[in-house]
Structure 1
């Protein structure tokens, strides 16, 4: 259904790449710059119980794993946890849901947005939402009804294909046929001499349309 909407040959065989390339394009410059840069490891401090000091640390204490798991601008798929919290420090907005333990998770495909909205009594409250990809919205608008009566239903059909495509990519990575996931979304950067950078080894040898088919002799 999405093959006719992609603009390039690679996009025609990979609906996920065709729709998400523009959304991930701001990060392509960073990937190209990091390709030729020396390897460096930088630590990223997440929300852990150890960050609170040693006053209340005991041998049997367990981490609570609270905090924001995805920052604004990251690409989210349905089911991904965006924030774990006690109480409603963050409120669920569009395309998000909240669980019984106040965990906020994504219910659609899009980019994470964290904003402030007026709440009861004039107090402001932070709202976490997932903004639908513009490419997916345009693709849904250009589709024929195909049984879907509303634009929202057509957008859900497009997102369902994106989720299915991502599952195929993940299975291909587990089989080893796609070593690095960013190679499916970014154009391969080149060096000043015109040669491909180290990411040329991440270019999948299999056609993108056949990723769902397991290799001979390998289990499904």
Structure 2
């Protein structure tokens, strides 16, 4: 006889079913046009079941986006960290970036959700935690590439700035592409240029320059 699921296992199963249904509806209709009723119909669940597992539409969309882009980041991390050599790592970065651009519906959904909830104090911490998680992942990839380039020591402040800059650049370019403001070729080339520029800057920063004038000196 199959073992009966525990209450926690049943709840986890229900939550997964609802999130999967919400993903389909959000991607098909967009954030603003999606309703809890539509998600409930898609999942084959009642409104009470939805609200018994999630705070509402905003919470559901956050879970959908977090799950998807965590998967994207994991794919990028695996591809870059397992690639051998600078050229291979840059090639892996390009392939993963182009893969992300092939799904503009996800980019538009993330942009719509972020704009719609930017002033919601209840979601502020969750949004911040999500962004911090992605930034931390990007910093790990930067360190991996820096090690490949033979950079012996990366300045912590420079690493923080590189992570923030690449995340912002990637988001901006992706949204621009999803909205039709830039071409695929320009979007890919611009992001790779930014990656290479930051790597080069860290490489230069790590080299000794005895005659360099400190920026903070008069």
Fold similarity call, TM over 0.5: no
TM-score of the aligned structures, taking structure 1 as reference length: 0.30
TM-score, with length taken from structure 2: 0.30
Whichever structure has more strand as a proportion of its residues is 1
The structure with the greater share of residues assigned to helix is 2
